[in-house]
Structure 1
Amino acid sequence: MIATTAAHTESDSLDSVSAERRREAREERVARGTSVAMRLLIAGGGTGGHLFPGVAIAEELRARHPDAAVRFVGTSRGIEARVLPELGWDLELIQVSGLKTVGALGALRGLARLPRALWQARRILGEFRPDAVIGVGGYASGPVVLMARLAGIPTAICEQNSIPGLTNKILGRVVRAVFVSFDGTRRFFRPSKTVVSGNPVRRGLVEKLLDAGAAPPSATAGNDAAAPVHVLVSGGSLGAVAVNELAAGALIALARTTPLAIVHQTGEKGLDDTVRRYAAAGVAADCRAFIKDMAAAYQRADLIIGRAGATTVAELAITGVPAVFIPYPFAADNHQEINARELADAGAALMFRQAELTADQLAEALRPLVTDPARRAEMGARMKARARPGAAATVIDWCELQLTEGGRPRRAG
């Protein structure tokens, strides 16, 4: 087993041993009279922006192959530790932390934890024996994808943002395939292994909003002047204090003259303060720390206010709901502003820098949108034109090729 065998020094030896183990595992499944079900390991998380593309990939695999075995690897501090068990997915935890933007002491701690994380990753690979390993970003993806590569297991990464993070920049050099969300991201990776797939979006959201007859809410909402405009506020899966304050202040001001139905995802830390703020102003708002069913929340929304993480951008494109973005100003390489600028330039969204925005200014920018359904519909159509709903399917296409021992990424059309 990989977990108990001494480390090999030659990658060729690891490749041959791992390939033999994978063949034996498939032969065992055939001997039991079962189909040769794929075994997929998905590593990463930390935030919803990393985790949910992985969930989308897992859902796509299970939809095609109900008997497929899927396991996630993450950390106890990440959102995956809470969300994945609730969604019914198997999760393994490793002890690893970041090396970037954590200061010298934090980087030393991260380096000290790395050998144990690599050993834990090796043990998981030996026990689960995956046919392929996908890294979706976040601390946990590094050790797992690296050890899988050394063991000769087919590996790939998904880069959600316009500018790759440190982990994916490193892993991109050694994996077989790189799936990116934006055309401009291709320049960071070897062209022969890079596919512009889009960012994988959860299957439930794609199915609901691409189902026959589904239409962006803005196409029909607002015809009745007395009907409230449904506004969704989301600072991401972990919330955002600045977005909470700016959006709540702006919506309280607008609610004095315009009927609004407000759903506000605040994050755990922002819930109590945001609830009190709306209540003190006498404005009804459905405030939640975390929204599990974002598909339903998007379907009810006429307008969305929030950050510009890659998962949010990809999901909004499929929903066809116009957005007002307040990019996180401290995102690595300012990637959120780059994400948002692409949609703003396409006329699908508005974008404001957090440092240059007040609640009153946001209210004035929102006023034409909440009072003009035709403008929302036009922006929604432009948003939907940016959609790539088949991203998860592209990743699973690649995974299926790996069962033939030698698949290569499909070129983007």
Structure 2
Amino acid sequence: MSGRNSLKIVVCGGGTGGHYYPLIAVISALKKKIELKVLYYTSKGRLDDRYAERDIENVKKMPLEVKGLKRPVYSPKNIMVIFDHLLTTDKVKRNMAEFSPNLVFSTGGYISFPVVKAASKIGLPVFLHEQNSIPGIANKRLARYAKKVFISFEKSRDYFKNIENGKVIYTGNPVRKVMKTRKEIFDSLGIDQNRKLIIICGGSQGSDFLNRIMIEIYDGIKDDKYFFYHITGNAEIKTKNYSFVRYRKFDPQLNEYIAVADGVVARGGATTIAELAHYGTPGVIIPWSEATENHQYYNGLMLQEMGLGYVILENAVTSGGLLETINRISTSRRHLLNIEKDPAETIAGHLLQEE
């Protein structure tokens, strides 16, 4: 896109942090290079809808009410879902044409169906990013409309074999920049830097299982060696007051804490895996077994293969065993990976090359 001094871009992605934060990282990278105008199709009431206007300056937000396909995909209930998608596609097509963007960038999720299809109908170049090791249904189905498909794991290429050579590009998963130091984070928590900071996070939706097992662990801790920053999400939890635990339902800047932590216990969401790898923070991954195609397990295996942690299946977790593993990762040396190119910068570069 040589010679341009501004770019109009349409973006969308599912309403979870796994879709949202990589998108924010790419937008931030673009803003450093060019004047940007953004039309964001958000999932009404979800995380992206709540935070887009805070995180993106002068964004034009368009909330959509879109439902995902029921499992199994051949369920009769999907007839109405598909019909709603068609109506939404027509609405998006008209709105998108009025905005007159240069391109569309999507990070997947079911909201991307009407957005990407509308873009293809009016001839806009489409770029997709897949965060997980096993691509989601949306990106697999919509890849044929894309000019380029960016992947976070080299192994994901196998799932796009029907896409012509050169369109699938390994970039990694974009991660937000860290603005605070370890001292600043520890000072904000009111704790000494000699203590071990452990992050507990069940994803942007929270995890009943992680909340319960951690309460068992907290009940047995007798010293102040650890300090736990525990993100409970929307899941129900009967919290108890411990001097070494700080609870939060949600923290939009959790990456700042992960970057300086001594260890993380989490589900296997793609953004969590990317942040642990990028910051070199060791983790214990307890994948959610009901994730589509068990992708959280395979995401976690990627981290384990990097030497950055352990994967433990939920049915194998005990409070004693988990505490022992937390102790192991918190005393291990940080393993900073040699990341040659920043994923967000790489993707931004490809988008700016679009004529």
Letter in 1 for 2:42: G
Partner of 1:168: 139
Alignment of structure 1 residues 214-363 onto 2, 5 Å: 227-253=194-220, 255-270=221-236, 273-274=237-238, 276=239, 278-279=240-241, 282-363=242-323
Q: Separation in 2 of the partners of 1:388 and 1:241?
A: 38
Identity of aligned residues (%): 28
Residues 353-382 of structure 1, C-alpha deviations (whole Å, 9 max, x = no match): 012212232123223344xx3x2x1xx21x
Letter in 2 for 1:336: Q
Partner of 2:60: 90
Residues 311-369 of structure 1, C-alpha deviations (whole Å, 9 max, x = no match): 11111111111111111111111111111112213321011001221223212322334
Secondary structure (helix, strand or coil) at the match of 1:124 reads helix
Structure 2 residue aligned with 1:133, among 90, 98, 104? 104
Q: TM-score normalised to the size of structure 2?
A: 0.88
Partner of 1:145: 116
Structure 2: 5+ residue stretches without partners: 186-191
Tell me, yes or no, if the aligned pair for 2:267 and 2:287 is still in contact at 8 Å: yes
Letter in 2 for 1:392: A
**Bigger Cα Rg:** 1
Letter in 2 for 1:130: P
1:392 and 2:339 are equivalent in the alignment: no
Partner of 1:407: none
Letter in 1 for 2:68: G
Structure 1 residue aligned with 2:44, among 43, 66, 76? 76
Alignment of structure 1 residues 153-192 onto 2, 5 Å: 153-189=124-160, 190=163, 191-192=165-166
Question: Matched residue pairs, number?
Answer: 342
Secondary structure (helix, strand or coil) at the match of 2:144 reads coil
Residues 197-239 of structure 1, C-alpha deviations (whole Å, 9 max, x = no match): 001112x33x668xxxx99x9xxxxxx9x93211111111111
Cα deviation, residue 289, structure 1: 0.7
Partner of 1:365: 325
1:47 and 2:45 are equivalent in the alignment: no
Q: Separation in 1 of the partners of 2:309 and 2:198?
A: 14
Partner of 1:196: 170
Letter in 1 for 2:312: F
Q: Separation in 2 of the partners of 1:47 and 1:106?
A: 24
Secondary structure (helix, strand or coil) at the match of 1:68 reads strand
Tell me, yes or no, if the aligned pair for 2:224 and 2:244 is still in contact at 8 Å: no
Q: Separation in 2 of the partners of 1:127 and 1:94?
A: 17
Query: Per residue, is there more helix in 1 or in 2?
Result: 1
Letter in 2 for 1:193: K
Residues 55-91 of structure 1, C-alpha deviations (whole Å, 9 max, x = no match): 11111111111x2112211221422111212324432
Residues 146-176 of structure 1, C-alpha deviations (whole Å, 9 max, x = no match): 1112211111110100111111111112211
Q: Separation in 2 of the partners of 1:94 and 1:85?
A: 15
Q: Separation in 2 of the partners of 1:263 and 1:120?
A: 43
Residues 389 and 77 (structure 1), Cα distance of their counterparts in 2 relative to 1, 3 Å cut: farther
Residues 315 and 299 (structure 1), Cα distance of their counterparts in 2 relative to 1, 3 Å cut: closer
